[in-house]
Amino acid sequence: MNRLIWSRLDEAARSAALTRPVQTVAQQTCDAVATLIAEVREQGDDALRTITARFDGVELVSFEVSENEFAAAEAAVPAELRQAMVEAAERITRFHEAGMGKGYAVETAPGVVCERMLRPIGRVGLYVPAGSAPLPSTALMLGVPAQLAGCPQVVLCTPPRADGSADPAVLVAARLTGVQRVFKLGGAQAIAAMAYGTATIPACDKLFGPGNSFVTEAKQQVAQDGAAAIDMPAGPSEVLVIADAGANPAFVAADLLSQAEHGPDSQVLLLTDDAAMLAAVEAEVERQVALLPRQQIARQALSASRLIQVDSLEEAFAISNRYAPEHLILALRDPRAWLDKVQAAGSVFLGDYTPEALGDYCSGTNHVLPTAGAARAYSGVSVASFQNLISVQSASAAGLAAIGGCARIIASAEGLDAHERAVALRMEAAA
């Protein structure tokens, strides 16, 4: 990991220190993804078969998971794992249900009522990554809020394994949240298929889920094309830890590594005002990484990661808000006292006993979170992500009389005469 002292960096070096690895490969990825999307649009299922053979190493006749495959998955998943997923789904449900919005109505003038009503989005597509590691937890994080919102059509895509099957735990997690249709399809091709539809994959109105840089770029491109809306840019994982002198270096190192092992383009940052802590975490990372089965991936991620010494914790929060991390861990003695300083982050973890891994799986919060600085303006997935918020208004003749003049003045100022007349005609008729 690179060791840096913030106060000794000029502005260019500071920007470089906070640049994500994925931002430097963008153009190559863009072009590759555009080609894949065009192939799927033009050749549908045939393109999906060819691309799947190329990237996933398997020739599939049918993409949809059959009921026999679901049954085999139920039998294959250990009871302990199934029970843990049931328990996690319950907590995710509890947290997300508590945050659900409600419709409301307000009389904004005598005889004028404005309302907001919530409706589920009709057709949603969930993406569950399975390239370097299958993520059944992501099926829970997307399936639970989709179910709470009541979306009538939910499909899920996840990459096939080399033997042509889908990860059994992903299938069990999908069914736990009521998802009925699952397709064995990964990468940009899955996103293109759900956005535009093919003979076998239904087109969706909105796409959800994290993925590698190909998946994230594909989501951006189909959204730009107007084919489907997307939840947010949720790409390679990242964590930023702010640690004080009292933090436990072994805990901090373990948290850094739990993100570094996600993928080679993940990034982890430590900000601390204590030089001894920085050195201790560095030594711990080195000790612990050697014990990991995925150490090769973690080491690649660490090569683009940073240990940054800051002058003060205030400075650490300023840097964190500028970086806008997906995950922010406050390894501080009184973390809640610092929470007001957080302006931009996907999900925050307070204190020494709240590892980020709890949020990944089972604390109840959502782990589908904005990455690459998108947390400056995007939020993690919630039930609201699966809903349309529709406004309604009704005015009586008295209500029109009360506010019509206001509308007419603004319409005239904008030079929109038909607007003005639509109000004036009714006011005259009602007078």
To the question of whether residue 327 is assigned a binding role by annotation, the answer is: yes
The residues that touch ligand NAD, with contacts defined as CB under 6 A, are 32, 55-56, 129-133, 135, 138, 159, 186-188, 210-212, 214-215, 234, 236-237, 262-263, 266, 326, 367-369, 371
Query: Is-catalytic flag, 327?
Result: yes
Which candidate in 327, 356, 367, 420 is catalytic?
327
Output the smallest distance, CB 80 to ligand NAD, in A: 22
Output the smallest distance, CB 137 to ligand NAD, in A: 8
- Token reading at 25: 């490969």
Reference 46, options 156, 159, 193; nearest CA is: 193
To the question of whether residue 221 is assigned a binding role by annotation, the answer is: no
To the question of whether residue 237 is assigned a binding role by annotation, the answer is: yes
Contact 266, 237 (CB under 8 A): yes
What ranges make up the beta strands (E) of 280-402? 306-309, 327-331, 347-350, 387-395
Strand order in the sheet with 267-272: 2-5, 306-309, 267-272, 238-243, 327-331, 347-350
First to last CA, the chain: 76
Output the smallest distance, CB 414 to ligand NAD, in A: 42
What is the rounded distance in angstroms from the CA atom of residue 357 to the CA atom of residue 339? 20
Query: Is-catalytic flag, 326?
Result: yes
| Cβ distance to ligand NAD smaller for residue 89 or 188 | 188
At residue 51, the 3 state secondary structure works out as helix
What phi and psi, each to the nearest 5 degrees, are found at residue 240? Answer: -125, 125
To the question of whether residue 96 is assigned a binding role by annotation, the answer is: no
Output the smallest distance, CB 158 to ligand NAD, in A: 7
Long-range contacts of 347-355 (CB under 8 A, 24+ apart): 347/380, 352/247, 352/248, 352/251, 354/329, 355/251, 355/254, 355/255, 355/258, 355/329
To the question of whether residue 127 is assigned a binding role by annotation, the answer is: yes
- CB nearest ligand NAD: which residue? 186
Output the smallest distance, CB 381 to ligand NAD, in A: 8
| Cβ distance to ligand NAD smaller for residue 177 or 309 | 177
| Cβ distance to ligand NAD smaller for residue 209 or 404 | 209
| Cβ distance to ligand NAD smaller for residue 250 or 254 | 254
- Token reading at 298: 């973690």
Most distant CA pair in the chain: distance in Å?
Answer: 83
| Cβ distance to ligand NAD smaller for residue 56 or 352 | 56
Which candidate in 39, 217, 238, 326 is catalytic?
326
**Torsion, Cα of 132, 136, 139, 144 (10° steps):** -150
Annotated binding site for NAD(+): 127, 189, 212
Active site residue ranges: 326-327
Binding-site sequence positions for substrate? 237, 259, 262, 327, 360, 414, 419
Q: Which residues are annotated as a binding site for Zn(2+)?
A: 259, 262, 360, 419
Q: Which residues fall in the annotated binding site?
A: 127, 189, 212, 237, 259, 262, 327, 360, 414, 419
